[in-house]
Structure 1
Amino acid sequence: MTYLVCYSPHKDDIGAIDLACQFARSEHDTVHALTVVPRGWETAVAGDTDRDFEQWAAQEGAASAAEALEVLARHTDVVSTATWVAGRSVPQAVCEQVDALGASLIVVGSGENGPRGYVTVTSKTDRMLHSAAVPVAIAPRGYRPVPDSRITRVTMGFRDDDASWTLLDLVASICARIGASLRLVTFAVRPRRMVVSAMRDDESDIFAQWKSQAQAGLDEAVTHLRDQGLVDVEAVLAQGRSWGGAMDSVEWGREDVLVVGSSSTHKLAQVFLGSSAAKILRNSTVPVIVVP
């Protein structure tokens, strides 16, 4: 299995490569770093302008691949390669290479304009999330795992719907294979109180009933996993008055990864973020894997 990591020579953040190697180390798999450079026009323009541009792009691609190999060489226990391709669209070129390499996961970094330590989705990553047929992992900005570490705990966002139950068995099998513990989390974000005081009690009762149902779903999932032989599993109902508060109420470690499913109601087969998954992404301080 190959993890395809997107590498840009113009960014100081190498968190995506570190994350890809952390995944590969956990599964004894390989990492392939890919740089996408601009492609020249199909028809030549104004003398040798187009040819000069293509030569420049080729030099940039070759230099970037060499630089990626130097970074990858720090992970001496991970088998890795690096190449470059020319493309008009970075997301399209990456998805084409997924098919060519048989990659099982795309790994990208966060945007440079987002807060350090949090996941930030760039416009390119957003387009990739809407077109990728394989899961996409996003490293927080400035991600630095423990050197030579593996993934030791997987946290899965659990909605207690058909899509979550299907994803649950997949994630559980991976945890069993790599020796990681599994934690299920349902995020309970309390709605803002309404102005009319007469409706506050009804609103609180509805939220309390929803929490009770959510906890029952978590308990059922834990029982199901333990019946399947997965012992190291726990469940958390994370509460908060905002998505950030709910995320902060959960303890996160440097060897954690968070898995969320894409929208279960969208007709597209590719990764499509629903509102809940998008809010979880923006407030995450650990790597997030979005699964179609």
Structure 2
Amino acid sequence: MTYVVGYGPRNDDRSALELAFQFARSHPETVVAVSVVPQGWGTPLAGGVDREYEEWAAGEGQRSAELAVADFSHHPGLDAEAVWITGRSVPAALIDEATARDAALIVVGSAEEAEPGRVRLTSKTDRLVHSSPLPVAIAPRNYRTTSRVTRVTVGFRDDDASWSLLDRVAALARASAARMRVVTFLVNPARRPVTTDISHAQTQVIDVWAAQAVAAQADAVAHLRSLGFADEEVEHGISAAPDWGSAVASVGWADGDILVVGSSSTHRLAQVFLGSSASKILRNVPVPVVVVPGAGV
């Protein structure tokens, strides 16, 4: 098994490699940096032009692999290799390579325009996330760490998808010897200051919602204990706020944290589809995010 990293020929940010090596420190597997370079036309009409293009692409791939090897020096003692492949679609090529190598994860970085410490998808990684049959880990921009994965946070809503995700995250945490944290985000617009029958009804709904969340969290913690987690290995809480930024920030984050969100399959051609909640969490979280296919949030 491996951790396959999307490593661009012109990459100026080694965040994806940093995250892959963090996983490798937690659960040792080989980190494979994969650079995808353009594929030639492969037609008789292309002739010498196609050969020249292929030679240029091969040079780009070789230089990218050499850069990746240089980046490996920041993480001595961990198994790693760098390869380059050709492909007409970077996401499709990465998925094929990851499948062939029995990868546990595909790891990518954030867009260049992302704020430092924030996760943002590029057009290519967006297509990857929405088509990958494997979990996709996304590193924040300029991500650096020497920690292993110490705590895995999962967003929990007490529906079938959340329970499925909880079991898969528990397995990930077990493999990494990490603690579990179960968080339920309750996001509501600020209540109007005027007392009306409508606002009173809204208050009652919110109170019921919160009570249900407390009960669901207790069930989730009990389930994790039944899987062998000790009390000190499980954290849980409810984050209520008027907006997603405040809700995500208020739970507190530290070096060694990762967040796992689920996705749902709404089309036979899309194994991964980020729901509205997952997308909003992803835009606001300051730690790496792992998107798991087939467990919608």
TM-score range, shorter chain: over 0.9
Q: For 1:149-187, what per-residue CA distance to the aligned partner results, in whole angstroms no more than 9, with x for missing partners? A: 210100011121112212212222332332211000111
Paired amino acid for 1:222: V
2:287 alignment partner in structure 1: 286
Q: Cα offset for 1:47?
A: 5.5
| Matching of residues 218-237 of structure 1 within 5 Å | 218-231=217-230, 232-237=233-238
Gaps of at least 5 residues in structure 1 are: none
The TM-score with structure 1 as length reference comes to 0.94
Q: For 1:121-165, what per-residue CA distance to the aligned partner results, in whole angstroms no more than 9, with x for missing partners? A: 1111110111100000000011111x2x21010001112111221
1:271 alignment partner in structure 2: 272
Of 167, 170, 193, the residue aligned with 2:168 is: 170
- Whether the 8 Å CA contact 2:162–2:262 is kept in 1: the answer is yes
| Matching of residues 85-164 of structure 1 within 5 Å | 85-145=85-145, 147=146, 149-164=147-162
Q: For 1:82-120, what per-residue CA distance to the aligned partner results, in whole angstroms no more than 9, with x for missing partners? A: 101111110011111112111121000000112221100
1:289 match: secondary structure: strand
C-alpha distance in structure 2 between counterparts of 1:55 and 1:9, whole Å: 15
The TM-score with structure 2 as length reference comes to 0.92
Q: Cα offset for 1:46?
A: 6.1
C-alpha distance in structure 2 between counterparts of 1:193 and 1:52, whole Å: 65
1:187 alignment partner in structure 2: 185
C-alpha distance in structure 2 between counterparts of 1:178 and 1:46, whole Å: 50
Range with bigger deviation, 39-48 or 232-241? 39-48
2:199 match: secondary structure: helix
Paired amino acid for 2:148: R
1:250 alignment partner in structure 2: 251
What is the CA RMSD across the aligned residues, in angstroms?
Answer: 1.7
C-alpha distance in structure 1 between counterparts of 2:132 and 2:47, whole Å: 38
The aligned length equals 289
2:28 alignment partner in structure 1: 28
C-alpha distance in structure 1 between counterparts of 2:118 and 2:95, whole Å: 25
1:235 match: secondary structure: strand
Paired amino acid for 2:132: A
- Whether the 8 Å CA contact 1:154–1:182 is kept in 2: the answer is yes
Q: Cα offset for 1:61?
A: 0.3
- Whether the 8 Å CA contact 1:44–1:51 is kept in 2: the answer is no
C-alpha distance in structure 2 between counterparts of 1:159 and 1:46, whole Å: 55
2:144 match: secondary structure: coil
C-alpha distance in structure 2 between counterparts of 1:207 and 1:266, whole Å: 29
Q: Percent identity?
A: 52
1:48 match: secondary structure: helix
Gaps of at least 5 residues in structure 2 are: none
1:48 alignment partner in structure 2: 48
- Whether the 8 Å CA contact 1:135–1:271 is kept in 2: the answer is no
